[in-house]
Amino acid sequence: MTNVLQLDRMPDQDDPPQEGTRRIIAGEERVFYDGYWIKAYKVPADTLEAKKRLIDALTRRLFNHTEHGLNIPGTRLAEARVTFEAETDPARRRVKGAMLAGALFNRAADIFRKLVELQACGIEILSDNPLMRECGRCLLEAMELGRNVLHRSGEEGIDELWGEPFRAFSIPLEDFYESRYIKIGQTMRDIDLIARCMIHNLASLPAFVGADSAINDLATAAKIKTETLRTDPDIFDVWAIMVTAGERLDNLAPHPVADDGRNVRHDTAVGLQLFRQGRDLIFYITRARTPMPKSTREFISRCEIYRETGHAPLTFFRQD
């Protein structure tokens, strides 16, 4: 497995590379975005078969990171639409809209599978084919409905996940993969932002001296995981390293601190909860490979309040 610790963030320099610059570094092609050299992968040929595989993978990824109960089969699209349109309670209508979005995604995937089968039989499928247009319409409507769906943490939605299948359908694969590198750079940036926040506001306190090592290890592992595809042979080492780094942070024990009556007394139970929330947030955005700006802002605010006052308003992420 490539050690990207020296490669992921460029040192300060007067003339940094332009966004999208590609170089061979340590025998691997890497692309530069947001200050990071990101591992690049070969783009598959732009065929219906390749797009079908990509949309299938993006749809599975979407259901893996959003609320439960949204993976409605495409065969139940008409039922999902009727119950959504009949619902008047705003909260239940939001959930039923998300279920309709799931059915629309699956209907689009169903159509694509049949188109690929027809193409394999030698039938030419043009972009203006009625089924192609129906597939695009389903993906677009699903994207619009999915804007109010929450991440499984319950903290916020990730609009990016809902838009990806439609973009994969509507633009060349090369452009789609390039757009993913931009998001990966932004995700790495936020991983570092969360890690710096934890080091400054938590690991700097006497009760948690030494925690910066575990935080840095998790951030490094998370950035490597963010750039590594699940099909990469390195994924076994990458995921194992990230999980064990997270376990080190989860098993953190505070040092005893004498109360001299002069400094802010920090509730160590609250501090430990913030460490775990930071770990969870890093895992969430790493697995989604997409920033979660609302969750990140609120977590940083809680850490800053804790450092200043010894206490903090806690938001407990749902763990699945």
Tens digit of pLDDT per residue, the chain (320 long)? 444 433 444 444 556 788 999 999 888 899 999 989 999 999 988 888 888 888 888 888 888 888 888 899 999 999 999 999 999 999 999 999 999 999 998 998 888 888 878 877 887 777 778 888 888 899 889 888 887 787 777 666 676 777 787 778 778 889 999 999 999 999 999 999 999 999 999 999 999 999 999 999 999 999 999 999 988 999 999 999 999 999 999 898 888 877 666 577 888 999 999 999 999 999 999 998 989 888 899 999 999 999 999 888 766 555 44
- How many angstroms separate the CA atoms of 105 and 56, rounded? 9
**Residues 165 and 201 reside in one and the same domain:** no
Residue 219 sits in which domain range? 185-309
Assigned domain for 178 exists: no
Assigned domain for 93 exists: yes
Cβ neighbours for 15, distance < 8 A, ≥ 6 positions apart: none
**Residues 192 and 277 reside in one and the same domain:** yes
**Residues 72 and 162 reside in one and the same domain:** yes
**Residues 158 and 215 reside in one and the same domain:** no
pLDDT at 262: 59
- Tell which of 135, 170, 205 closes a domain: 170
Assigned domain for 266 exists: yes
**Residues 24 and 80 reside in one and the same domain:** no
| Cβ 30 vs Cβ 39: under 8 Å | yes
Predicted TM-score of the model (pTM): 0.81
- Tell which of 170, 196, 217 closes a domain: 170
Assigned domain for 180 exists: no
- How many angstroms separate the CA atoms of 290 and 130, rounded? 33
Which residues in 190-226 are b (16+ Cβ under 10 Å) and which e?
bbbbbbebbbebbbebebbeebbebbbbbbbbbbbbb
Assigned domain for 107 exists: yes
* 110 CB neighbour count, 10 Å cutoff: 16
**Residues 112 and 145 reside in one and the same domain:** yes
Number of domains making up the chain = 3
